[in-house]
A and B are shown apart, each in its own frame.
Chain A
Amino acid sequence: MQPKEAKQQSKRNFLKTSLLAGGGLLMGLNFLGTSCAKSAEMPKSIDDLDFQSFNAYLKIADNNTVSIYAPNPEIGQGVKTSMPMIIAEELDIPWENVIVVQAGLNSEYKRQVAGGSQSIRLGWKNLRKAGATAKLMLLTAAANKWNIPVEECVAKQGVITNKKGDSIKYGDVVNEAALLEIPKKAPLKKVEDFTLIGKGIKNVDVEKIVKGESLFGLDYQYDGMKYAMLQRPPFGAKLASFDATDAKKIKGVLTVVSFDDKVAVVAENTWAAMKGKEALKVEWKEIKKEESTAYHNKMMLAAFDKKGVEPMQSNGNFNVAVKNADKVIEQLYEAPFLPHNCMEPLNFFAHVTKNKILLVGPTQTPKNAAKMVAENLGRKEEEVEVQMTRMGGGFGRRLNTDFAEEAAYVSNLSSYPVKVIFTREDDMTSGVYRPSVKYKIKATIKGGELTGYTIHEAVINRGMWKGISKYFPNGAIDNYEVRSSAIECDTTIGWWRAPVTNFLGFAQESFLDDIATELKKDPIQFRLSLLEKAKGKKGIPYSPKRLQGVIKLVAEKGNWGKTEAGVYQGFAAYFSHNSYIAEIADIIIENNKPVVKKVTVAVDCGILINKSGAKNQIEGSVIDGIGHALYGNLEVKDGVAQVNNFDQYQLIRMKDTPIVSTHFIESTENPSGLGEPGLPPASVAVANAYKKATGKRITKQPMIKEIIT
């Protein structure tokens, strides 16, 4: 999730021109410096228009319709709308003229990944450039027509004018403009001149969604397509044998294939595939007893007691702080595995043929899907074409490629074009969970000040300590240490919305709240004063000033400290995934349980791109964060997940949702993403409110289990 590709931004852009069959020139502005890929297919409805391509991101037709490619995967985070908005802003065209087309995997785009809340942040520069260079070409074409310098021409909302009062539409100069050499540099708009960015623009697919049109991977159809369902081994176990006799008796079942300790039933329709999978008799071997939550917990707790775990980061001297301390406070925080439970169960289509592999479906990382499939089948990556569908949620699960690989294996072995479909039970038990994790935090207090802080992470499979030191309170405390112990297991883990911070934020902000109580300070004033100390410190990637900004804003908007009787407030603030968020939760206690009535959120994500989409992300991530912290729990026994559907796994529903009130800081800083950062502070704001209401500190998730027991 690190922005590995960021340094490529500074690479000089290449120019490439090639002749189109239609006679016009296709100009490929190549942002990566690699060869120009062929342009993607346009949808049929706009096929008749005579488009000229200006770069990999946009085409303009002579009737002024602009087709903008949405380069990144859409999982509900809104980039299919917001990324084209940035291009349209610089191109300066009416949004009504824009048709957005989902791009496929194409090497001309910089980073076709939905992950880490990075699409907007890393796309910003290139998206602007794509619009601005095309605009300059159109201006130049108009200037040439009028025989005046280009500086005397102005473009606005798809119309070019000059001082003499002449005006011409983009569509009228598009053919000439597309013949011009692509400028290396084009002026970008000033932030204050933005007219589209910052507005609330509706999701480009909203009408199709409410009509129930085919958009998602599960909706995808292909001539002769078959349906496959798989039995997968428990974590760590192997396939011993299988008997497909009964499965093959099911009407509609075509064949049964096996690979990689998995068994797949291929059928004429979904229902036959489901029944065929159920009818399979599969024996597993080497089932591991230690793939169990009880054992995992034991190992994680043991990691804290292990002697000689060296700090991975150390500022000052924590041991000296302990020696000098008036008081040492310690707390353990614990979180379980969480499945992603995308509303659209995992699925993928593959058609493996002699010359080509076609992959279609919901993926957050089309490039990795192509790479893994090529590798597995011993084929070249160039033979793999990936088309992306809209995704019924991602939350990080579709950053893995297991389901696309399975589809390719099954298609390869069965020779059918095949869509692999996970049942909900398959989806929830297939692994790649938010890792179960524990944090032990210890702090020293001297003379009414927080003088030392040490955090030790014990986590299943992946040590994420590098993440820890990115975040507040690092920078604010003189003696600071980070340790990490990864427990290796066969239960698979992966990126889950707001990786690392989804529970790290809970642990750190719970702890700071208790420290504030210990020091008899107001929690908000305490955070503000800590951040004051962090100002100017080296090695912290966040701006203490911007974090203070959202804290002050939320205190004002959330009426901090001014509640009605029976309402308790909790506060939390967190910088994560490059955005700054502060939240205040208003709760009441009913039947000894917290009922979250309202969450006030202050957000600094730099320049706001799409106000409607941004608010939706904050509302969603806040409620999602609270829901999973309250209820989410997946335990494993002998390598098998102990819950497999929504009758056993509780997701937050409408009656339990607070009203979320969102406030943005006005900013001219470059934009950052919003898919994840709203989540980490949400559940801890609730936990802090619960502490205020009851005096009880919740240190374990799921919170509801702690509250009831």
Chain B
Amino acid sequence: MPEYTLKVNNKLRTFNVEADTPLLWVLRDELNLVGTKYGCGIGQCGACTVHLNGIAIRSCSFPITDVIDQEITTIEGLSENADHPLQEAWIELDVPQCGYCQSGQIMTAAAFLKDNPAPSVVDIRNAMHGNICRCAAYNRIEKAVALAATKS
């Protein structure tokens, strides 16, 4: 199997996988970064959202060969001590129910707030529409994104 190097959360990581392996499974199985979740495998649910050069992408839909030499940020690298305004807002508002989709939600929101630091409710709803929360904790997700916007 070929060897690849990836810059993940500001660290160079080297691993051997097949060329068609999606970034999601490299992160989870090879690099033990399990905060990025598998939900659907076809880019529909957003549970696997990470940042590629600062842009939110679905890691399930990017073969590793498409992302080498680029910068990946996962939930584990979003902040040093869970102190990103979104993480703090998520804790303050006690957002999660099962919690499984939440790292994907936070990664989507983080990229969104960078582009739109003062969003309206409609902006937030549009931005977060691509991420499914099966527990439907949507009211709190919406509030937490709004709260984080006031703090970042």
Contact = CB atoms under 8 A, between A and B. Distances in A.
Interface of A: 75-78, 200, 202-203, 205-207, 209-216, 218-219, 221, 227, 251-252, 269-272, 341-345, 390-395, 423-424, 612-613, 616-617, 619-624, 627, 645-647, 651-655, 657, 659-660
B98 interface: yes
Contact of A393 (B38, B42, B98): B98
Contact of B125 (A395, A616, A651, A654): A654
Nearest to A661: B139
A659 B139 contact: yes
Given A211-B82, A221-B32, A619 B25 contact: no
B99 A392 contact: yes
Contacts of A423: 41
B91 A206 contact: yes
B18 A620 contact: no
Nearest to A652: B136
B7 to A, nearest CB: 18
B103 interface: yes
B98 A390 contact: yes
Interface in B6-45: 17-18, 20-22, 25, 28-30, 32-42, 44-45
What 3 A-B pairs come out closest when comparing CB atoms? A212-B35, A76-B98, A392-B100
Nearest to A252: B18
Nearest to A347: B38
Nearest to B88: A210
B72 interface: no
B98 A271 contact: no
Contacts of B102: 209-210
B132 A653 contact: yes
Given A211-B82, A342-B134, A646-B45, A271 B94 contact: no
Given A391-B98, A393-B100, A654-B125, A202 B91 contact: yes
B39 A269 contact: no
A219 B138 CA distance: 24
A593 to B, nearest CB: 16
Contacts of B36: 212
A212 B18 contact: no
B30 to A, nearest CB: 7
A209 B99 contact: yes
A617 B100 contact: no
Contacts of A270: 25, 28-29, 38
B98 A657 contact: no
A616 B94 contact: yes
Contact of B97 (A77, A212, A622, A660): A77
14 contacts: A76-B97, A203-B94, A209-B99, A209-B102, A210-B82, A210-B91, A214-B34, A215-B99, A270-B28, A271-B20, A392-B100, A647-B44, A654-B141, A654-B142
A623 B138 contact: yes
B37 A392 contact: yes
Nearest to A215: B99
A271 B18 contact: yes
- For A390, A621, A651, A654, which residue has the most chain B Cβ atoms within 10 angstroms? A654
B74 interface: yes
Contacts of A76: 96-100, 135
Contact of A212 (B76, B91, B139): B76
Contacts of B103: 209-210, 212
- Which of B20, B36, B82, B129 counts the most chain A CB atoms within 10 A? B82
Contact of A616 (B37, B101, B140): B140
B105 to A, nearest CB: 10
A374 B92 CA distance: 44
A623 B134 CA distance: 10
B94 A210 contact: no
Given A211-B35, A621-B136, 17 more contacts: A76-B100, A77-B97, A205-B99, A206-B96, A209-B96, A209-B103, A210-B91, A392-B101, A423-B41, A424-B40, A424-B41, A612-B94, A616-B137, A645-B41, A653-B130, A653-B131, A657-B139
A212 B106 CA distance: 10
Nearest to B132: A651
B75 interface: yes
Q: State the main secondary structure of chain B at its contact with A.
A: loop
Contacts of A202: 91, 94
Interface residues of B, number: 60
Contacts of B21: 269, 271
Contacts of A659: 139
A608 to B, nearest CB: 15
A620 B135 contact: yes
Contact of A219 (B34, B47, B74): B34
A342 B142 CA distance: 21
A207 B138 contact: no
Contacts of B90: 206, 209-210
Nearest to B102: A209
B133 interface: yes
B40 to A, nearest CB: 4
A197 B67 CA distance: 50
B129 A343 contact: no
B49 to A, nearest CB: 11
A212 B74 contact: yes
B40 A620 contact: no
B52 to A, nearest CB: 17
Contacts of A207: 82, 91
A78 B97 CA distance: 7
Contacts of A646: 40, 42, 44-45, 132
A659 B34 CA distance: 32
A320 to B, nearest CB: 46
Contacts of B87: 210-211
A219 B40 CA distance: 16
Contacts of A651: 132, 134
Contacts of B142: 654
A612 B131 CA distance: 23
Contacts of A616: 94, 97, 137, 140
B80 to A, nearest CB: 10
Contacts of A623: 136, 138-139
B148 to A, nearest CB: 11
A343 B47 contact: yes
Given A203-B96, A207-B91, A210-B103, A645 B135 contact: no
Contact of B126 (A210, A213, A391, A655): A655
Contact of A345 (B35, B39, B101): B39
B128 interface: yes
A102 to B, nearest CB: 13
B29 A624 contact: no
A214 B102 CA distance: 13
Interface in B63-97: 74-76, 82, 86-87, 90-91, 94-97
Nearest to A78: B97
Contacts of A213: 34-35
B100 A216 contact: yes
A660 B139 contact: yes
A210 B109 CA distance: 13
A393 B101 CA distance: 10
Contacts of B126: 655
A423 B99 CA distance: 19
Given A206-B91, A211-B82, A343-B47, A619 B28 contact: no
Nearest to B143: A659
